[in-house]
Amino acid sequence: MDLKLELIVLPVSDVDRAKSFYEAAGFRLDLDKTANEQWRAVHLTPPGSAASIMFGKGLTAAAPGSVQGLYLIVTDIEQSRAELVGRGVAVSEVFHDANALLYHGHEAGDITHDGPGQARVTGAHPEGADYGSYATFSDPDGNGWVLQEVKQRAPGR
């Protein structure tokens, strides 16, 4: 079986505000379609990604801002952070988790890296470990994103 995650629906309160945010962040607009007063779909894709996001009107009953832990994998965390900041996105400083446990080549812990037991330390992972450096940001509704630096993927990924 070959399963590919292709689309994640995000709950937002203001479709136009969310669309502006994601376009400013560099996401490509793939679709903006309105069928009627109760239904609108906006589909965007992050640069270089095979997966996309969709939000709009009449797409989900989830509370705006309730999606957390959306990972964007980058090869250069400092450069990616700087580009997003340059586009007007409020991105945290780069950090690593001093208490993280190594789990199959990944730093394990709370998926948003701000939960109990996390020890955020400013700066990239001291050994430059793949899967070890992060930065976070949220869209205007609070849907949470994590940038994670991976220069070389773990085997089988």
Tens digit of each residue's pLDDT (9 = 90 or more) over 36-90: 999 999 999 999 999 999 999 999 999 999 999 999 999 999 999 999 999 999 9
Range 52-62 burial, b when 16+ CB lie within 10 A, else e: bbbbbbebbee
What does the pLDDT read at residue 97?
A: 83
The range of the structural domain enclosing residue 104 comes to 70-149
Is residue 33 one of the residues assigned to a domain? Answer: yes
How many domains does the chain divide into?
Answer: 2
Is residue 17 one of the residues assigned to a domain? Answer: yes
pLDDT tens profile 84-125: 999 999 999 999 987 764 443 444 445 555 555 567 889 999
Q: Are residues 82 and 35 in the same domain?
A: no
CATH at residue 39? 3.10.180.10
Q: Are residues 74 and 122 in the same domain?
A: yes
* CB-based contacts of 119, cutoff 8 Å, min separation 6: 97, 98, 99
Q: Are residues 45 and 78 in the same domain?
A: no
Q: Are residues 112 and 75 in the same domain?
A: yes
d(CA 85, CA 9): 24
For 82, the 3-state DSSP assignment is helix
Q: Which two tokens stand for residue 128?
A: 């430059």
Give the residues across from 31 on adjacent strands: 43
